[in-house]
Amino acid sequence: MSETLTPMMQQYYQLRRDLPPDTFLFFRMGDFYEMFNEDAVEVSAVLNISLTKRGGMPMCGVPYHSVRSYVKRVLNAGKRVALCEQVGEVKPGKLVRREITRILSPGTLEDVGLEERKNNFTMAIFPLSVSGKKKVADDSIHSNSNQETTTTIRPIDRIVAFGISYADLSTGEFFVTEVATQEALFDEIMRVAPAEILAPHVLKVLVEGIKEELPQLEFLEDYLFDLTLATELLCSHFKVQSLDGFGGEELKAGVSAAGALLHYITRHLRRDASHLRSFRPYRHQGYMLIDATTQSHLELVTSRAGRSMTLLAALDCTKTPMGARMLRDWILRPLCDIAAIQARQEAIAALLDQALLLSELREKLSGIRDMERSLSRLSQNSGNARDLAVLSISLLRIPELKQIIAKIIDSKKELIPESETTSFLIASLAEELHDLQELHQTLERALVEEPPAITKEGGMIREGFDATLDELRAASTEGKEWIANLQEREITRTGIKSLKVRFNAVFGYFIEITKSNLANVPSDYTRKQTTANGERFITPELKEIEGKILGAEERSKAVESELFQQLRAKALQELSAIQKTASAAGTLDILCSLAETARLYGYCRPLVDDSSLLFFAEGRHPVLDQQAREKTFVPNDTDLDASSHRMAIITGPNMAGKSTYLKQVALLTIMAQMGSYLPATKAHLGITDRLFTRVGASDDLSRGQSTFMVEMNETAKILHHATARSLVLLDEIGRGTATFDGLSLAWSIAEYLHDVSQSRTMFATHYHELPDLARTRPGVINLNVAVSERHDDIVFLHKIVAGAADRSYGIQVARLAGLPGSVIERAKEILTNLEKSELNAEGRPLLATHVDMQRPRSSKRRIVDEGPSLFDGW
Ligand code: ADP
C-alpha cells in the first residue's frame, strides 16, 4: 500500500502513527489544517463542516487563522488535537518538513479559552490493591509477586487506597494525595473538578461501571503507574535523588499516579513540563472533609441559581487571577489546624486595623496579572512578548506591596511591641514576594507598550534597546523615506502628474502610469505588468532600495525574535522565584479579600479551638445577608455542644427558614475554618473534622436512582462516617417514603446520631412528633422558627426560638399558595381527627414509647387502629 502513497501522505501516516488515542491530527497545508480518513469523518461531524473526497479519501479542513475556535470545539467533545506545522522551508515541488508542535487535550490547554479565575487540572488516579488469588495481569511488567501489598498492577480483589495526582499545566501547580475509599475519591474529583482524568486499564476490572460514573476518564497502559518507574521519572524530572524531600514518601499510590500523569504530559502530549518544579503532597487529615453532595448542596463554588448565589461569590473580592483560583481551594478545603487558622485570622486582623493600607494593598494587587499562566506558557515555548509584559507589569508592583506590608507590620509592632509573631503569615508572604526588579527593568526597557501576540513578525522591542536592531530599523526607514520622496521626484522628472509609487506583496514597489501618459515614460523604466488603466514599471534603483528595505526588515524580525528568546530565557532563570512570588501574591490577595468582605459587612473574628462547641451569636447567612441589604436578613443564634446539648431538632412551617438556617450554620463553620471572619456578633467553634449535609429531596435521575434511595444512600454514608468531631445537618429525612416509614426512620437515625456518632447535629423536620425525642435523650434540644399568626394567616419571622413548633401550619401555607377554600376547610377537619390520635392511653406520645415486646405491633397499626378514621365525617 505504501508504494502508492504520495510522499506527503507517507509523512502524514508517520506522524499519525505515534499519537495517543482519540487524537486528531491537524495537518498544516499552507493556510489550512487538513484532516484525512477517519479523522476527517469524525472531525467534520464534530465541527459540522463539509467533508470532501480526494482520490476516494475523505478529507476536511479548517483555516489556520481561526484554528483556536475549532480546536476548542474538538476538545469540548472530549478529544485531543495534535497540531502539525510546516517547519521546513517551502520550496515548489519539494516536500516540506512537518512536525507535531503541540498536542492539546481538555486538561492541558493553556491559552485556548481558559477561564482566568479557575484552574484547569488534569488528574491521574491509581487504585492501590491488596493481592488476591487471581492471576497477575499480563501487561504489568514490573510486578513484584512476593509482596502482600503491591503498587504494581494486578486485577485483584480489594482496593486499599486511591492515589490521586493532578496538575495544572497552565499554572505549574502539581499535587499528590491519597484517599482510602471510592467515595472519598469521588469527593476529591468533585472538589478538584479536573477537565481530564487518567487511570490504568486495571481500574475497569476493579471498579465496575467506573467509566459511566466518570465520563472524562481515559485509560493509560497499566505499567505507567508502576511505582519504580513513576519514582524514577519524577526524580529525573525534578532532578533529585529521591522524593523524600517533598514530604510525600508514604503516599506511594499518589506517587504512582503522579508518575503516570507526568509521563502523559511529557511523552503523550509532548509538552515541556519544566515549570512543574515540585509537587505538593497533602493529606486529608489536615482539612475538613466536605463530600461531593455537601459541596453542591451548600452551593460553595457553583450553584444552579448562578454564581452570585455561591459562597465563593460572597467572599470573592480578589484582584488577581491567582487569588481567585486559590480562594476556590480555600473554600473547598477548610483547615483543621488551629494554629494555621489563627495565622490567617491574625493576618486579616492586621489588615483590618489598617483600613487605608488595606485599600492601598488591594489597589496595588489589581495591577498584578496572571503571572502563573504567562510563566507557564513561556516555559512551554508557547508564550509571547505579551507574557513577558505581564511579568514586567506585575513585578513592578512587588516592591510596592512589600513596602505596604512593612508598614502594616511596623504599626502592629508599635501597638503591641512584645508580639513578635503578630501577622507572621503576612511577614512570611512578604519574604516570598521576590523583588526581581532587575528582570522587571530589563523587560520594561526591552518591550514596547503593547507588544503583538506573534513573535516572528517583530514590533516587540523598543527603540534604543539593541543597537543592531536600531541600525536595521534606521536603514529600513531611510529606504522608505527615499521611496516616499520618489513620487515627487519622478513627477518632476517625467512631467506626469498622475504618476504613483505603489507597493503590493507580489511585485514589491512599482511605478504606476496611466494609459494616457504612457508616451512620456522614460527609457530607464522597465515594464512589469499591464492593468486595465495603465502599466506598472520598475527601475533598477527602485529595486535596489526595495531590496535594502526588505532585507533590513527581514533581519530586524530575526533579531527581534532572537532578543525575545534571550528575554524569555532571562525570565525563566527566575522561574522558581516568580512562581513563589505569584503564589504569595495570590495568598495575600485572598487575605485582603477576606478582610475587605469582613470590613464591608461587619464580620467578627471567631474563636476557633479544640472545644466541642458550635456557637454563633446573631449569625447571618453570608450569601443571603449580602443580597438582602435593603430588606435585612434576620440574624439567628446557634448553640450546640457535642458533650452536652449536641442535637437540635428544628421544626416550623414550610418557608419559615429552616433550610436557610441549616445552610447558614454549615457556611459559617466552613468560613471559620478557612480562617475567615464571620457574619455574626460572636462565635466560638471547636474544630469540625467532617461536614455532612442531607438537604432537600435532590433527585438523581441521571443515575437512575429514586429520590428516596438517594436520600438513604446519603444518610447511610453519614451514619457510617460521622464522629463526635463532625457536624451533621439533616433536612427533611424520610420524606421520600410513606409518613410512618419516614417518621420511624427519622426517629431512629436521630437516636443513632445522638447515642453512637455523638456528632453535633441539626435536624430540620416536618414531623412535629420528632421533638418528643428530647424526652428520652438528654442531648436533644428543640428549636422552631417563629411565625406570627394574624387571624388565620401566618407571617414568617425567620427567627429561631427555643421549643418545638406547636403546629406545622401546612394548611396555612397551602392557603397562601391559593388552594380552594373548601379543600383547606376539609384538611383542617382531617387534621383535627389525626391530632387526637397522637397520644396513647397514658397520655404519652406514641413514638417516644418503647414498643411492648410481648405484643409487638407496628406503630402504623397502633396509630391507625386506635385513632379515629381519616374518613370520619366525610
Ligand atoms: P424552609 O426550609 O423552612 O421551608 P427556607 O429556608 O427555604 O424555608 O426559607 C424560605 C424563605 O425565607 C427563603 O426565601 C429565604 O430567603 C427566606 N429566609 C429564610 N431565613 C431568613 C432569614 N433569617 N432572614 C430573612 N429571610 C429568610
The model's pLDDT over 184-238, given as tens digits with 9 standing for 90+, comes to: 898 899 889 898 999 998 888 778 788 888 878 888 889 999 999 999 999 999 8
Q: Is 64 exposed, middle or buried (0-12, 13-18, 19+ CB in 10 A)?
A: middle
pLDDT of residue 856: 36
Treating both helix axes as pointing N-terminal to C-terminal, what angle do 739-752 and 707-721 enclose, rounded to 10 degrees? 10
Q: If pLDDT is split at 50, 70 and 90, which confidence band does 394 have?
A: very high
Mean pLDDT to the nearest integer, 651-655 = 85
Q: Cβ(194) to ligand 1 under 6 A? A: no
What's the chain's length in residues? 874
Q: If pLDDT is split at 50, 70 and 90, which confidence band does 382 have?
A: confident
Q: Cβ(633) to ligand 1 under 6 A? A: yes
pLDDT of residue 854: 37
Q: Which of 82-96, 250-264, 366-380, 835-849 has the lowest mean pLDDT?
A: 835-849
Residue with CA closest to ligand 1 atom 19: 657
pLDDT of 848 above 60? no
Distance 355 CA to ligand 1 centre (A): 34
pLDDT of 795 above 70? yes
pLDDT of residue 24: 93
Distance 475 CA to ligand 1 centre (A): 75
Please, are residues 867 and 834 in contact by the beta-carbon 8 Å criterion? Answer: yes
Q: 569-627: per-residue pLDDT in tens? A: 999 999 999 999 999 999 999 999 999 999 999 999 999 999 999 999 999 999 999 98
Most confident of 111-125, 565-579, 722-736: 565-579
Please give the single-letter amino acid code of residue 589. Answer: D
Q: 321-330: per-residue pLDDT in tens? A: 999 999 999 9
Q: 163-191: per-residue pLDDT in tens? A: 999 999 888 899 999 998 888 898 899 88
Taking alpha carbons only, the member of 774, 756, 762, 763 closest to residue 847 is 774
pLDDT of 56 above 70? yes
**Which ligand 1 atom sits nearest the alpha carbon of residue 631?**
25
Q: Cβ(742) to ligand 1 under 6 A? A: no
**Which ligand 1 atom sits nearest the alpha carbon of residue 628?**
25
For residue 51, the tally of other CB atoms under 10 A from its CB is 14
Pocket test of ligand 1: the residue of 297, 767, 798, 816 to mutate, having most ligand atoms within 8 Å of its CB, is 798
Report how far residue 306's alpha carbon sits from residue 298's, in angstroms, rounded to the nearest whole number: 13
Distance 660 CA to ligand 1 centre (A): 5
- Give the contacts of 775 (CB within 8 A, at least 6 positions apart): 845, 848
Q: 497-555: per-residue pLDDT in tens? A: 999 999 887 778 999 999 999 988 998 999 988 888 899 999 988 888 888 888 898 99
pLDDT of residue 114: 62
Distance 784 CA to ligand 1 centre (A): 13
pLDDT of 680 above 50? yes
Q: Using the structure block, give the residue that is written with the C-alpha cell 528595505.
A: 549
Distance 108 CA to ligand 1 centre (A): 42
Percent composition of the chain: helix, strand, coil (DSSP 3-state, to 5): 45, 20, 35
Percent of the chain with pLDDT over 70: 87
Residue with CA closest to ligand 1 atom 5: 657
pLDDT of 629 above 70? no
Most confident of 292-306, 523-537, 557-571, 761-775: 557-571
**Which ligand 1 atom sits nearest the alpha carbon of residue 656?**
3
Is 178 strand, coil or helix?
strand
| Higher pLDDT, residue 312 or 453 | 312
Q: Which of 119-128, 220-229, 632-641, 853-862 has the lowest mean pLDDT?
A: 853-862
Q: Cβ(766) to ligand 1 under 6 A? A: no
pLDDT of 699 above 80? no
Pocket test of ligand 1: the residue of 660, 698, 797 to mutate, having most ligand atoms within 8 Å of its CB, is 660
HEC string for 57-103: EEEEEEEHHHHHHHHHHHHHCCCEEEEEEECCCCCCCCCCCEEEEEE
Distance 657 CA to ligand 1 centre (A): 3
Q: Which of 133-137, 395-399, 521-525, 771-775 has the lowest mean pLDDT?
A: 133-137
**What average pLDDT is seen over the chain?**
85
Pocket test of ligand 1: the residue of 629, 655, 663, 800 to mutate, having most ligand atoms within 8 Å of its CB, is 655
pLDDT of 434 above 60? yes
Distance (Å) of CA 536 to CA 80, 241, 484, 498, 521: 50, 71, 17, 13, 11
Please, are residues 678 and 603 in contact by the beta-carbon 8 Å criterion? Answer: yes
Q: Cβ(654) to ligand 1 under 6 A? A: yes
pLDDT of residue 701: 44
Distance (Å) of CA 799 to CA 156, 510, 645, 659: 56, 86, 20, 13
Please give the single-letter amino acid code of residue 552. Answer: A
**Which ligand 1 atom sits nearest the alpha carbon of residue 799?**
23
pLDDT of residue 579: 92
Q: Which of 133-142, 521-530, 696-705 has the lowest mean pLDDT?
A: 133-142
pLDDT of residue 19: 85
